[in-house]
A and B are shown apart, each in its own frame.
Chain A
Amino acid sequence: MAASRPNQLFRNKSAKIAAIPMIATALVVFLGGTIWTVAHSFTSSKLLPKWDLVGLTQYERLWGTRRWLISIENLMIYGVCMLVFCFVIGFVLAALMDQKIRFENTFRAIILYPYALSFIVTGLVWQWILNPEFGLQHVIRSLGGNRPPAECEGVGLSLSCWLSGIEFDPLYNPRIAIYGILIAALWQGTGLIMVLMLAGLRGIDQEIWRASRVDGIPAWKTYLFVVIPMMRPVFVTTLVLIGAAIVKVYDLIVAQTGGGPGNATEMPAKYVYDYMFGGQNLGQGFAASTMMLLAVLIVVIPWAFMEFGRKNRG
């Protein structure tokens, strides 16, 4: 009886053979690379990897470095703001777009367009826009006639003086520079989120909307209690996309501020890169990237358990 049953291992043989190169690549590159990196984070590698174990020294140094601590803090601020705003703005834009407006395609293209640009371009564009000498601040001050401060002394309430004195230079102010980055990232990122959410909204049966109108449910309540719960899969997808974009943010910083002013806009990914290839301190870079991996795993593993564990039961 058991002999007549074909071996499970050899079912769909050709498909399995075809998948072998991909599986091998994934194992060697991702898993192998990861293990190699984690292992070498316990060594004193400098310019070249060297198998010279020094225990947790690299980690002690990492967590004693001010730049790393600032990077972590920046990532937190940037991450939370990016997640919340990208999500909310993306959804609201999609909901507005879903009201059967005219020129929908045009609007959608305009809002999605920034996503087609590379982070380098976005960074440069917003560096210019936020530059006090010729960017937004300059434009607003010009509206007020660009009156010098001396002229305005003791003038009291005056629109032109107020406009001429306005200050908007986030990239030059260490306390708020990270928000300058955030603006650029939102400008680039929300378009994609909006399009995904719009696709999700369009996937909702029109008859659900009709039923809720017959029931007399106001539109906002329908969104809140019916539509949003139905869009869970889309939300998970967008969450993964935004999350990945947050953790790996690097090129935007390089193009927009180079991490400055001072260390004000440093990010973990940039720390890793700078130490591995700029500072010729591979061990330190490996330690930092291991910490990033750890942080991602702490978020992903419980989520994966929740998501897939539940499916098995349900």
Chain B
Amino acid sequence: MEPSISIRHLDLSFGAVDVLKDLNLDIGKGEFLVLLGSSGCGKSTLLNCVAGLLDVSDGQIFISGRNVTWEEPSKRGIGMVFQSYALYPQMTVEGNLTFGLKNAGMPRAEIAERVERAARILQIEPLLKRKPAALSGGQRQRVAIGRALVRDVDVFLFDEPLSNLDAKLRTDLRAEIKELHQTLGNTMIYVTHDQIEAMTLADRIAIMRGGLILQLDSPKEIYNRPANKYVAGFIGSPSMNFFEGVVDLGGAPVFSCEAGDFDLSGYEFGAAGPQGGPAWLGIRPEHIAHGPDAAACPVRMEATVRLVEPLGSDTLARVQVGERLLWIRLDGQSSIRPGDTLTIGWHAERANLFDSATENRI
């Protein structure tokens, strides 16, 4: 796949604070890339560097094969959508969509054509004569997307576009953005701290922490084979359960911790091959079987239910194994109650092992 955006050895610092350090990233043409990370990890900073709204300290940025490191944002062939919508409040929706085009001296007929197309795609035709103050949050964000759309560019940048909306609207507009991407086929970079948005929208997710990309992979791969303990704990809700212990490769591979010895036969070790020593074992709540299913698992234990959180579609339960508390996910119709005891277990191939020292996957 020909890269649409290439970021090479990018450094960015605010004074003495290095926010991005030697960051490399290639984004394919038509790809939907999500930058995911907790607040303050440098996602917006990276996006603003791509947009040209921040001057990089070192490194290069290529868009569609062109070195744009020192070009003005408007010359880079990008459109951008912001968290606060950033509409021009004193102009009508139409004014918002056309301001940039008029300023660039585009012929009237073409402007009208582009506005018409954008309004049709985003279904904002009835709103064109209104001011932003007379729109709902979702409508405003649609107009903001329209402003990027009329620029007719190859690359769309989104900076937490749904974070100011309520939950219901967020879900709706999320689906619309995904549909928009399928219709237009543009390259899109999307910043969010919301893992659901990341998982649902992305072709690939880049998980960031402290200005570094920890893992860049498809949502499925990130979910199933997190590259390190941070990613493993960050993705998934409730978080992955962890046990601290030792991997023993003496006979059949075994993970031993205070809760017992867990069989590791079937675990898929990384490219470096099996590795013994102190480690973390992680298992997702939804990968812990219980009741009759647990009987078939090679790893089994008895647990006491401490807390039950019914969510309707499924039920979360916090159970105690020895001194450890684990989250498990049960069926929505489950009728377990605090105090019940229950057999739980899992298959080794569902587990994740991380080195204690480096926290990387083994």
Contact = CB atoms under 8 A, between A and B. Distances in A.
Interface stretch (B73-81, B231-239, B245-253, B268-276): B73-81
18 contacts: A205-B86, A207-B82, A207-B84, A208-B88, A210-B53, A210-B82, A214-B51, A214-B53, A214-B73, A214-B79, A215-B74, A216-B72, A216-B104, A225-B88, A225-B91, A225-B99, A230-B89, A230-B90
Contact of A213 (B73, B85, B147): B73
B90 A229 contact: yes
Most chain-B CB neighbours within 10 Å: which of A207, A214, A218?
A214
A217 B74 CA distance: 8
Given A211-B147, A221-B103, A225-B99, A216 B88 contact: no
B83 interface: yes
A211 B90 contact: no
B256 to A, nearest CB: 53
A216 B84 contact: no
Question: What is the interface residue range for chain B against chain A?
Answer: 20 to 34
Contacts of A211: 80, 82, 86-88, 144, 147
Contact of A207 (B78, B86, B91, B147): B86
A215 B103 contact: yes
A80 interface: no
Interface of B: 48, 51-53, 72-75, 78-80, 82-91, 99-100, 103-104, 144, 147, 151
Contacts of A210: 48, 51, 53, 73, 80, 82, 86
B190 to A, nearest CB: 16
A218 B90 CA distance: 18
Interface string A213-233: 111111001000110011000
Nearest to B90: A229
B104 A226 contact: no
B3 to A, nearest CB: 22
Contacts of B83: 207
Contacts of B78: 214
B117 to A, nearest CB: 18
A217 B100 contact: yes
Nearest to A229: B90
B80 A226 contact: no
Nearest to B74: A216
Nearest to B150: A215
Most chain B Cβ neighbours within 10 Å, of A210, A215, A218, A226? A215
A218 B147 CA distance: 17
Closest 10 CB pairs of A and B: A216-B74, A215-B100, A229-B90, A207-B86, A211-B86, A207-B82, A214-B73, A214-B80, A213-B73, A226-B88
Interface in A138-192: none
Most buried by A among B52, B89, B144: B89
A225 B96 CA distance: 11
A294 B5 CA distance: 67
B82 A215 contact: no
B86 A208 contact: yes
B103 A205 contact: no
A216 B75 CA distance: 8
A208 B53 CA distance: 12
Contacts of B99: 215, 217, 225
A216 B51 CA distance: 12
Contacts of B85: 207
Contact of A216 (B48, B90, B103, B147): B103
Taking each of A213, A216, A217, A229, which has the highest tally of chain B beta carbons within 10 Å of its own beta carbon? A216
Contacts of B147: 211, 215
Contacts of A218: 103
A214 to B, nearest CB: 5
A226 B90 contact: yes
Contact of A214 (B74, B87, B88, B104): B74
Contacts of A205: 84, 86
